[in-house]
Amino acid sequence: MFDNAEFSYSCCPISSELVDDSPFSCRKLNKKNKNKRRFSDEQIKSLESMFESETRLEPRKKIQLASELGLQPRQVAIWFQNKRARWKSKQLERDYSILLGNYDNLASRYEALKKEKQNLVLQKLNNDMKQKSSREGTDGEKAVKYESEAKTSVSMEKSEHVLSVLSDDDSSMKAEYFAIEEEQDQLLSMNMTEPADSSPEDWGSLNSETLFNESSGEYQWWDFWS
């Protein structure tokens, strides 16, 4: 397709003389001199409003709009192409910030839920202990006190921390503790909740700061965003 049409620019007075392409020739004149490139505000406005109704133009409208604005159909087409590209990257930014917000939201709920679960486990331990004690007729006051402050922020690697809550000088108690059935399953599942990934810290509490530390590679592995 010949773009023969001679670019009769309405908007860019570039006299052929002194194209001067020298990098800094353009340094002149700021606001004044409604310069060369850049469509007029009115042209932009028309294009934008058209884009809003439909992001792609049928050849019909393209030609019509072009003549209305005193532009080449080619220019209108290119403007729409570029606009679509810009819009797409804007959209990505929007989606990113939304996703980040949802992530943070979910992360805090995750933490809260984890804490609740740990309290439940402690209550259960306490309860089982009481039961066992009372069943044996010994005094049940050695049961652990939980104060709803289970220190969930520290990750427990091997259920050692859970046991440490039962800080006690009576080693026989630990032995009895392990005799209580189902308790081990519970503690196990508690650790399984953290899928043993290689992360340095608790992934659940990640924020945008620490999220992309080691992922600054050169390219990603799957081309989402087809």
Q: Using CB under 8 A, which residues numbered 98 to 137 contact its own copies?
A: 98-100, 102-103, 105-107, 109-110, 112-114, 116-117, 120-121, 123-124, 127-128, 131
Question: Which contacts of 46-50 are long-range, i.e. CB under 8 A and separated by 24 or more positions?
Answer: 47/76, 47/79, 47/80, 47/83
> Looking at 1, 175, 179, 196, which residue binds its own copies (CB under 8 A)?
1
- Scanning the structure block, which residue is given the tokens 């969930």? 152
> Looking at 65, 66, 79, 162, which residue binds DNA (CB under 7 A)?
79
Cα-atom radius of gyration of the chain, to the nearest Å? 34
Q: Smallest gap, in angstroms, from Cβ of residue 1 to its own copies? A: 5
d(CA 18, CA 20): 5
Instruction: Say if residues 134 and 140 touch (Cβ distance below 8 Å).
Output: yes
Closer to its own copies by CB, 161 or 204: give it. 204
Number of residues that bind DNA (CB under 7 A): 40
Interface positions, 80-109, toward DNA (CB under 7 A) = 80-82, 84-86, 88
Instruction: Say if residues 104 and 207 touch (Cβ distance below 8 Å).
Output: yes
Three-class SS of residue 8?
coil
Which spans of this chain sit near DNA (rule: CB under 7 A)? 1-7, 9, 19, 21-23, 26, 29-31, 34-39, 44, 56-57, 59, 62, 74-75, 77-82, 84-86, 88, 226
